[in-house]
């Protein structure tokens, strides 16, 4: 196997020219992937619906209509998708809940991936004592049980959106860091990196221009899953009573409420659950599309 590996050196020109036209090429490849583009369109629509929908919708998600409690789905009535157990319009709640879930999901995952990749690539590429120190720190953070951290953050920061955000990012950057380090470790001995070093690039430039971009395909697959994971984690926190506080809602908290009514009023689960599942499916296909498009070997 090792003699085969020896043949993997890539032409230096290709790597060095990365970041100029390849991006456009990747984008072109991505736009040829119908599934990915379709997912992108649906996800954009869902996002727009969640952001703009409540502006045009007559009901406030936090206003109760005590005369219409637990109204069923009736598309031609005042509340087309019915109301919840307090008489709040379900559609309005699902849309504003989506704002919270999507915001936490995207911002949380981006923050986690950014921190993780830079951290991991640095550790893996530079290696030695710094790697040792950085990864021992990760080990320590990994060693702290997640829910213990969440309960502590809840107690110390309080149950605000900020607290929720911190609870989610605090450990999620660790896995991207480990993955990025793994990629960096296997990349650092590749010939093109040696060549770049010989060519006089500084360590930081190499990390930025070679290690990070070459770790990217694995990271993109992982980070698109991370958006899902953040959204899912948020729902677990809701299930354990550690999530967003009422009367605000998120898809997670709505699904938790719906899961309790699984045998009595399925509608409460299906509406937020449907939005969540659709979003997660879209994210998955987009991730696959991105991965295929940004694969350096196809250039």
Residues 131-190 that bind another protein (CB under 8 A): 132, 136, 139-140, 142-148, 151-152, 154-156, 159, 174-175, 178-179, 182-183, 185-186, 189
Q: How many Cβ atoms from other residues are within 10 Å of residue 123's Cβ?
A: 24
Dihedral-angle region of residue 212 (phi above 0 means left; psi in -120 to 50 means alpha; beta otherwise): alpha
Positive or negative torsion for Cα 84, 88, 91, 95: negative
User: Is the Cβ of residue 75 or residue 235 nearer to another protein in the bound state?
Assistant: 235
User: Is the Cβ of residue 200 or residue 261 nearer to another protein in the bound state?
Assistant: 261
Residues 24-63 interacting with another protein (rule: CB under 8 A): 33, 35, 62-63
Rounded to whole angstroms, the Cα distance separating 48 from 59 reads 18
Choose the binding region for another protein from 104-112, 162-170, 199-207, 268-276 (rule: CB under 8 A).
268-276
* Under rule CB under 8 A, residue 18 binds another protein: no
Q: How far is CA 5 from CA 110, 124, 165, 297, 298, in A?
A: 33, 20, 42, 15, 18
User: Is the Cβ of residue 4 or residue 20 nearer to another protein in the bound state?
Assistant: 4
- Nearest distance in Å: CB 123, another protein: 13
- HEC readout, 185-223: HHHCCCHHHHHHHHCCCCHHHHHHHHHHHHHHHHHHHHH
Binding mask 226-255 for another protein (x = CB under 8 A): --xx--x--xx--xxx---xxx----x--x
Binding mask 271-290 for another protein (x = CB under 8 A): --x--xx--xx--xx-xx--
**Binding-residue total with another protein (CB under 8 A):** 84
User: Is the Cβ of residue 132 or residue 205 nearer to another protein in the bound state?
Assistant: 132
Contacts of 57 (CB under 8 A, 6+ apart): 89, 91, 92, 95
Helix, strand, or coil here: 70? Answer: coil
* Under rule CB under 8 A, residue 64 binds another protein: yes
User: Is the Cβ of residue 19 or residue 274 nearer to another protein in the bound state?
Assistant: 274
* Under rule CB under 8 A, residue 117 binds another protein: no
- Nearest distance in Å: CB 23, another protein: 19
Rounded to whole angstroms, the Cα distance separating 40 from 27 reads 13
Is 233 within 8 Å of 150 (Cβ atoms)?
A: no
Choose the binding region for another protein from 12-20, 51-59, 90-98, 258-266 (rule: CB under 8 A).
258-266
Dihedral-angle region of residue 19 (phi above 0 means left; psi in -120 to 50 means alpha; beta otherwise): left
User: Is the Cβ of residue 52 or residue 262 nearer to another protein in the bound state?
Assistant: 262
One residue of 74, 85, 194, 203 binding another protein per CB under 8 A: 85
Rounded to whole angstroms, the Cα distance separating 89 from 224 reads 31
User: Is the Cβ of residue 52 or residue 63 nearer to another protein in the bound state?
Assistant: 63
- Nearest distance in Å: CB 20, another protein: 22
Residues 190-219 interacting with another protein (rule: CB under 8 A): 217-218
Contacts of 246 (CB under 8 A, 6+ apart): 253
Is 87 within 8 Å of 65 (Cβ atoms)?
A: yes
Choose the binding region for another protein from 49-57, 92-100, 105-113, 261-269 (rule: CB under 8 A).
261-269
């Amino acid at each position: 196997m090792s003699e085969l590996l020896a043949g993997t050196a890539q032409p230096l020109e290709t790597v060095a020219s990365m970041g100029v036209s390849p991006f456009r090429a990747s984008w072109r490849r991505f736009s040829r992937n119908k599934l990915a583009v379709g997912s992108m369109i649906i996800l954009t629509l869902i996002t727009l619906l969640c952001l703009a929908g409540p502006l045009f919708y007559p009901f406030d998600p936090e206003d109760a209509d005590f005369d219409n409690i637990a109204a069923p789905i009736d598309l031609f009535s005042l509340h087309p998708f019915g109301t919840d157990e307090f008489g709040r319009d379900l559609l309005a709640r699902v849309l504003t809940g989506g704002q919270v879930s999507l915001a936490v999901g995207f911002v949380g995952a981006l923050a986690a991936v950014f921190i993780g990749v830079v951290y991991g690539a640095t550790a893996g590429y530079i290696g030695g004592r710094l790697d040792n120190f950085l990864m021992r720190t990760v080990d320590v953070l990994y060693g702290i049980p997640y829910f213990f951290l969440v309960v502590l953050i809840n107690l110390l920061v309080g149950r605000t959106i900020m607290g929720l955000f911190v609870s989610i990012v605090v450990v999620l950057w660790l896995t991207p860091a480990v993955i990025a380090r793994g990629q960096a470790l296997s990349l650092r001995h590749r010939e093109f990196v040696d060549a770049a070093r010989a060519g006089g690039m500084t360590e930081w430039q190499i990390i930025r221009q070679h290690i990070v971009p070459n770790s990217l395909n694995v990271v993109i697959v992982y980070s698109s899953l991370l958006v899902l994971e953040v959204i899912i984690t948020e729902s677990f926190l809701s299930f354990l009573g550690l999530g967003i506080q009422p009367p605000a809602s998120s898809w997670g908290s709505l699904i938790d409420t719906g899961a309790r009514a699984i045998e009595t009023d399925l509608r409460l689960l299906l509406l937020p659950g449907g939005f969540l599942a659709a979003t997660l499916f879209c994210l998955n296909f987009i991730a696959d599309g991105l991965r295929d498009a940004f694969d350096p070997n196809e250039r």
